[in-house]
DNA sequence: AACATACATCGATAATTCCCGATATACCTA
DNA sequence: TAGGTATATCGGGAATTATCGATGTATGTT
């Protein structure tokens, strides 16, 4: 097989406008989340579920599920700190997918 | 919007293992289609539906539909010659998508 | 312990997608 | 024109996805 089956799942994850939107928001948190604040000192762990939820207009459960989908296929990382879970783009996966398109 | 809505449709098209497989087959027709023969002299127009159908194990109608999906989102070109329709990868779209991943 | 907050999971319904068989359409040949 | 071949389209059942409200679980506060 030329394209690992996993890549199909990544494309499925990207084939939803809300999930794709979330991924673009996470590209530039300062711009997209008014009350965004780096959570962990100098280490940037991303944006917490609640912020994304409030911006999205979808329900909390849907956003939680979508973030878990993005996480499962490796498009974002997840960091639990206290009662918050912070999600952050996984640029390696995204870049790898960009390269994959060239060799696909 | 940062990502054009159309790109979501492209990701949906790629989010199916059979369609993704077809796209990889079309990358190298000589290798994947035993009885492949350039149809149009020196201009390569791609592979006809029947060849893809026979290799796929899916029904003719399904393959025709899948090729039409890939065509609608711009991932392949379609050239009708006589009673055959030849499909060929649209490398521009694929390359553009690769670049998009970097700016996504 | 009791309660509040943040997130995840469950259960359900509507919408979409997958893939099929049947049929229609286009083209070619005799 | 009649018949054959290649592809496209239609209609549908099963499977998957989208999205919700309700509930569960972990953590923090008093």
Q: What is the mean pLDDT of chain B?
A: 91
pLDDT tens profile B9-33: 999 999 999 999 999 999 999 999 9
Supply the CATH number for residue A86's domain: 1.10.10.10
What's the structural domain count of chain A? Answer: 1
- In sign, the C-alpha dihedral spanning A94, A95, A99, A101 is positive
Domain of A12, in residue numbers: 5-103
Contacts of B28 (CB under 8 A, 6+ apart): none
pLDDT tens profile B31-53: 999 877 776 667 899 999 999 99
| Alpha-carbon separation of residue B16 from A6, A15, A96, B11, B83 (angstroms) | 11, 10, 19, 9, 28
Query: Which structure tokens are listed for A86?
Result: 């912070």
Q: Among the listed ranges A9-23, A61-75, B27-41, B55-69, which one has the minimum average pLDDT value? A: B27-41
Say how far apart CA A18 and CA A33 lie, in whole Å: 16
Return positions of chain C under 7 A from a protein CB: 5-11, 17-23, 26-28
Residues 57-76 of A with CB under 7 A from strand C: 60-61, 64-65, 67-68
Return positions of chain D under 7 A from a protein CB: 4-11, 17-23, 26-28
Is the C-beta of residue B100 closer than 7 Å to nucleic acid chain D? no
**Contacts B14 to A, Cβ<8 Å:** 8, 11, 15
């Amino acid at each position: 097989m030329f394209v690992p089956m996993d890549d199909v799942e990544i494309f499925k994850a990207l084939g939803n406008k809300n999930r794709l939107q979330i991924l673009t928001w996470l590209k530039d948190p300062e711009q997209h989340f008014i009350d965004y604040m780096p959570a962990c000192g100098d280490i940037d762990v991303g944006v917490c579920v609640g912020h994304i939820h409030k911006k999205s207009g979808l329900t909390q459960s849907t956003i939680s599920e979508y973030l878990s989908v993005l996480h499962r296929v490796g498009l974002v990382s997840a960091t639990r700190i206290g009662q918050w879970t912070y999600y952050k783009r996984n640029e390696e996966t995204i870049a790898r997918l960009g390269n994959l398109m060239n060799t696909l």
